[in-house]
Amino acid sequence: MSLNELTAHEILGLIKTKKTTPNDVYQSVISAVREKDSAVKAYVRTCENNADLATLKADAKFPIPTTNKDNICISGHETTCSSKILAGFKPPYDATVIKKLKETGALFVGNANMDEFAFGSSTENSAFGPSRNPWNLDCVPGGSSGGSAAAVASDQTIWALGSDTGGSIRQPASFCGVVGVKPTYGRVSRFGLIAFASSLDQIGPLTKDVTDAALLLNIISGYDPMDSTSINEPVPDYTKSLTGDVRGLKIGIPKEFFIEGLDPEVRQAVEAAIEVLKAKGAVFKTVSLPHSEYSVATYYIIATAEASSNLARYDGVRFGLREQAKTLRKAPIIDMFEETRDAGFGAESKRRIMLGTYSLSSGYYDAYYLRAQKVRTLIKNDFDAVFADCDAILTPTAPTTAFKIGEKTDDPLAMYLSDIYTISVNLAGIPAMSLPCGFSKAGLPIGLQIITKHFAEETMLRVAHTYEQATDWHKKVAKV
């Protein structure tokens, strides 16, 4: 087995016993990128001449090749959110998660492809073209962190960072057969994450197994005064929660998530996972999340409103693309704004900006945005009620396996419904993760979602690790 095919914790063991070196591991990953990425297209740019190797300290704790989603700032490295409008933008500072990773010795492989500004569920909305699913190159890897998930699944990195606003870590993790964690809102600093929807965005890990997810979460979690939404709560060692013991844990199965529209193969795989955990001593009960049916509508009001506000800063003045008007129509500065935004934003970005601007406009704010915030509270209250009697909730991550590239591009609503099982978690601000629980007859991965209450990542990881160690799904490898 090549070094790039190993997990981070396996590599750390080899480095510790001097059976390999960080340079050997890094070069193995770079070789895989050169060999595979012309087909997978997981990356928008790489850092093959990584200066960090020259300055790597001998006592570095985690000299692990790491992939970064293209919306997380790395000082001096072009970061574009896979959008034309940020072409050439090189942040003058590191995101807090990048700073923490650098302090542990991380070796950055490059920036992963994504849906432009994280607007999408397939990575087809990228200015660089779509990434492809390593299990079937005709299929999408999910989105918006599709490049990160595809890089992990194809062994073009050891682990990766993604961001999750409505399922953008968990859904691609499900489609690509890897582990993806969306932490509690405020657990991981958003400083240096280029914003989509500030009240929903959260950075998290994409890894090859649950142990690596716990390790990476250890590194990036914690209070950050640079992020006003960061929560000053102690960070436990998440690896200590990987006990393999779920005896007596109460796990809820929401009836609203097992209805018409759920692919029969996905249902079967999730029901089989429930039986595995039952055999390990977990106790299951049917629960209700009655307002979850409104989560997609609520999300696409709140998220687009916040996106409209956040993307107003991209005007051709301060950074990125600038287009000059061919003919004077209004005033030179206004013409430049309009030409830049028209040329710089893709179709989905324009759609979301217009939706958000409309819902915030005079006369519609109360009817849409304010009402959506009230429904958001009801959704959160549903979860609180379930967690009063349950330790975790278990659901499918996505209603289907990965779909074909181009299959849903002409039907935005069908695309939005790809995140129907993940969106409510972001609205409630609670943690959730996806891990592999089977494959379809077509050979595509199926994801299991585990949800817990605020700051109960330990319980979530405990359930996930117990299931993972009782099955072999995480050992399956995509042969690109």
Q: Which residues are catalytic?
A: 69, 144, 168
- Determine which of 122-131, 307-316, 332-341, 383-392 has the lowest per-residue pLDDT on average: 332-341
Range in 59-63, 363-367, 410-414 with the lowest mean pLDDT: 410-414
One DSSP character per residue, 382-436 reads: HHHHHHTT-SEEEEESSSSSPPBTTSSTT-HHHHHGGGTTTHHHHHHT--EEEEE
pLDDT at position 318, please?
Answer: 85
Q: Is the pLDDT of residue 356 over 70?
A: yes
Check pLDDT > 70 for residue 54: no
Residue 98's nearest CA partner among 106, 109, 90 is: 106
Number of CB atoms found within 10 A of residue 149's CB:
37
Task: Kindly tell me if the per-residue pLDDT of 455 is higher than 90.
Answer: yes
- Confidence at residue 1, expressed as pLDDT on a 0 to 100 scale: 81
Residues 32-58 as b or e (16 or more Cβ within 10 Å = b): bbeebbeebbbbbebbeebebeeebee
Position 50 scores a pLDDT of 60
Q: How far is CA 15 from the centre of its chain?
A: 29
Q: What share of the chain is helix, strand, coil (3-state, %, to 5)?
A: 40, 15, 45
CA distance 63 to 139: 32
Provide the pLDDT for residue 416: 84
Q: Is the pLDDT of residue 51 over 60?
A: no
CATH class, range 3-251+389-475 = alpha beta
Q: Which residues pair with 402 in a beta bridge?
A: none
**In this structure, what is the dihedral angle of CA atoms 204, 206, 210, 213, given to the nearest 10 degrees?**
-40
At 362 the pLDDT is 85
For residues 416 and 43, the model is more confident at 43
Given a contact cutoff of 8 angstroms between Cβ atoms, the answer to whether 89 and 375 are in contact is no
Q: How confident is the model at residue 49 (pLDDT cuts 50, 70, 90)?
A: low
pLDDT band at 48 (very low <50, low <70, confident <90, very high): confident
Mean pLDDT of 221-234: 97
Q: Which helix (H) or strand (E) holds 108?
A: strand 107-112
H or E element at residue 109: strand 107-112
Report strand pairing: 392-396 vs 445-451. Answer: antiparallel
As a whole number, mean pLDDT of residues 323-351 equals 88
What confidence score (pLDDT) does residue 64 get? Answer: 97
**Full strand arrangement of the beta sheet holding 250-254:** 43-46, 107-112, 65-69, 159-163, 203-207, 179-182, 432-439, 445-451, 392-396, 250-254, 283-287
Residue 70's pLDDT band (boundaries 50, 70, 90)? very high
Q: Which of 178, 190, 258 is nearest to 220 (CA)?
A: 190
pLDDT of 110 reads 97
Task: Report the pLDDT averaged over residues 346-366.
Answer: 93
How far is residue 430's CA from residue 186's CA, in Å, rounded to a whole number?
10
Would you state the pLDDT for residue 415? 87
pLDDT beyond 90 at 140 = yes
| Residue 466: partners with Cβ closer than 8 Å, 6 or more residues away | 243, 244, 245, 246, 277, 280, 282
268-282, 413-427, 429-443: least confidently modelled range: 413-427
**Domain extent listing, the chain:** 3-251+389-475
Least confident segment among 11-20, 56-65, 201-210, 287-296: 56-65
Mean pLDDT, residues 421-430 taken together: 98
Higher pLDDT, 58 or 353: 353
Q: What is the mean pLDDT of residues 129-154?
A: 98
What is the Cα gyration radius of the chain?
Answer: 21
Question: How far is residue 399's CA from residue 344's CA, in Å, rounded to a whole number?
Answer: 33
Give the pLDDT band of residue 325 (cuts 50, 70, 90): confident
Q: DSSP letters along 214-269, please?
A: HHHHHHHBS--TT-TT--------GGGG--S--TT-EEEEEGGGSSTTS-HHHHHH
- Please state, for a pLDDT cut of 70, what percent of the chain lies above it: 99
189 upstream amide cis, omega within 30 of 0:
no
φ/ψ bin of 155: left (φ > 0), alpha (ψ from -120 to 50), beta (otherwise): left
CB atoms within 10 A of CB 123: 35
For residue 330, the model assigns a pLDDT of 77
Longest dimension (CA), the chain: 72
Average pLDDT along the chain: 95
